[in-house]
Amino acid sequence: MNDSVSKSYNHFDYEYLGAGLGLRTPHIYKILAEKPKIDWLEIHICNYINGGLNQQLLMKVAENYPLSFHGVSLNLGGTEPLNLPYLKRLKQLTEEINPRLVSEHACFTAHNGEVFHDLLPIPYTEESLNHFASRISQVQEFIGRPILIENLSRYIEYPESVFTESEFLSQLCRRTGCGLLLDLTNAYVNQRNLGINLDDFVDQLPAEHIHEIHLAGYSQDSEWLVDTHSAPIPDEIWLVFQKYCARYGPRSVLIERDNNLPEFEELDRERIIAEGILNQYKVQQLENSSELEPV
C-alpha cells in the first residue's frame, strides 16, 4: 500500500462521543428495557461477530446507542495470515451498524496455531514496525476505514527494542493513518511496574491521533499492578485523566470493567464522574477559545 492511501485516513471524521460504558452481557437486557441515558457503548466485537442471539441483541442496542467495536482477535502482531473469515464478518457488521470507532491492540494473541487468550507485547523493532504497519494497512483497506490501536499493559521489556512504545505507536500513525486508543490505566500500570514515565509516554504521542481513552481499575499483588479490569477506578487514575484533559482537552472516554462485574448503576456512577470531568474541560476549552477571538 502506498503512502497516499494510508495517509488519507488522517482526515477521517472522528466524532466526539462523550462518556461511555463497556457493554457487558449481564447488563444488555436492562439497557434494552430501560434505555438509560448513556452517550455511547463499546462492545467486544469478538463476542458478537458469529451471529446468533448475541448479534440480534447487538442490533437492538445499536438502534438506541452509538457503538464502538473493540477487538482482541486480529492478532496484528502475529506472523500468521490475517483471519479472512473474521475480517469479512467484521466488515459486514461495520457496514450494517456503522460504529463510531473500531479498535484493536498493539499485541499478538496467537503463534504457530496456538491461541493464548491474552494480549502479548511485541518488541519495538524496525522489523516489528514494518510488519505491524503492513497488517494495519491491510485491515483498514479491507474494511474501508481506519482503526484505533490501543497501548498495552506490559510486564516485560524486550532487550531487542530500539523504539520506545510512544515512538512505535507514533510511527504506526504516520505510516498507516490509524488512530490511537489511549488506555491511561495501562500507561499507569507500566509506570508502576516498569518505571516508564507516564507523562513522557503521553506527551510523546501524537495528540491529534488520540480519539478514545480507556479508564479501568486494576489489582495488586505483592510486587505488581495487574490490569485486571476488576475493580473501581482508583483516585490516581481519575487524577491522571483530569491531568490529560487539562493538557489536551476532552476526548471520548470509556469506563471498562470485565471482572467482578458490579450492578449497572455502580458502573454508571463512574461514567457520570467521567462525564463531569469532560464537561469541566469542555467549558474551559470554550472559554479559552473565546478569549482568543478578535474583538
What pLDDT, in 10s, does the model give residues 169-224?
A: 999 999 999 999 999 999 999 999 999 999 999 999 999 999 999 999 999 987 89
74 within 8 A of 89, measured Cβ to Cβ: no
Residue 135 has pLDDT above 80, yes or no: yes
Let me know the angle formed at the C-alpha of 84 by 81 and 86, rounded to the nearest 5 degrees.
115
Residue the block writes with cell 467549558: 283
Q: Which residue from 32, 6, 292, 285 is spatially nearest to 141, judged by alpha carbons?
A: 6
The number of residues making up the chain comes to 295
Global pTM reads 0.93
Beta bridge partner(s), residue 193: none
Q: Which residue from 232, 218, 215, 214 is spatially nearest to 103, judged by alpha carbons?
A: 214
250: cell is 476532552
Tell me the percentage of the chain whose pLDDT exceeds 70: 92
Cα–Cα distance for residue pair 150/41, rounded to 1 Å: 17
Cα–Cα distance for residue pair 203/206, rounded to 1 Å: 8
CB neighbour burial string for 199-220, b if at least 16 within 10 angstroms, e if fewer: eebbeebeeebbbbbbbbbbee
Q: What pLDDT band is residue 2 in, cutting at 50, 70 and 90?
A: very low
Q: What pLDDT band is residue 88 in, cutting at 50, 70 and 90?
A: very high
Q: Which residue from 246, 184, 190, 236 is spatially nearest to 210, judged by alpha carbons?
A: 184
Q: What pLDDT band is residue 76 in, cutting at 50, 70 and 90?
A: very high
Domain ranges of the chain: 3-292
Alpha helix ranges (H) inside 98-234: 126-143, 165-176, 184-194, 198-203
258 within 8 A of 229, measured Cβ to Cβ: yes
Q: In the prediction, which pLDDT does 109 show? A: 80
Cα–Cα distance for residue pair 56/69, rounded to 1 Å: 16
Q: Which helix (H) or strand (E) holds 118?
A: strand 114-120
Q: In the prediction, which pLDDT does 249 show? A: 94
What is the residue-averaged pLDDT of the chain?
91
Neighbours of 77 (CB within 10 A): 23
CATH superfamily to which 3-292 belongs: Divalent-metal-dependent TIM barrel enzymes (3.20.20.150)
